[in-house]
Structure 1
Amino acid sequence: MNKAQLIDAIAAEANLTKADAKKALDAFVKSTTDALKQGDRVALVGFGSFSISTRNSRTGRNPKTGAPIKISAKKVVKFKSGSELNDIVQ
């Protein structure tokens, strides 16, 4: 499902116009992004939670030459699904 299909599904499920559904989705994405930037965790009970995790630096290999390269530490976004979502999907 891409963004346009998600907007269509939200509009149909919530009985909204596509424009209102797009605004709602954009607001959710912006709010979630802003919270994660500040280091907060975003938890949606039953669905899952978004959080920031730090990936340590490590040594990798250049696939073309095989030479070792240093991969820097960085922050990554993690999503952990909630139990209700897991039960529905299985």
Structure 2
Amino acid sequence: AAGLRIDQGAREVFLDGRELTMTAKEFDLLTFLSTHPRQVFTRAQLLERVWASAAEWQGEATVTEHVHRLRQKIGPERVRTVRGVGYRFEP
């Protein structure tokens, strides 16, 4: 994505050259989605893969909230909602 740079080794995210402050889970979610561009994931799949827990342990609202916070930081156009399914990253 133009202007968005993710440094996985340093766990840093830059938008147009400016470093963004991210929580550990926001970073993990962004990294996971961005390494699978345009692939759609359900909230349950994201809980499994990013949170490493089953949906019974963490509510799917956790994913919704983290996606919302990510959009505020990197822009809403980068994390798309696929209605009735889940989310995908737009590079």
TM-score interval, smaller chain? under 0.3
Q: Taking structure 2 as the reference length, what is the TM-score of the superposition?
A: 0.27
Name the one with the larger helix percent. Answer: 1
TM-score normalised by L of structure 1: 0.28
Structure having greater relative contact order (Cα 8 Å, sep ≥ 6) = 2
1 or 2, which has the higher strand percentage? 1
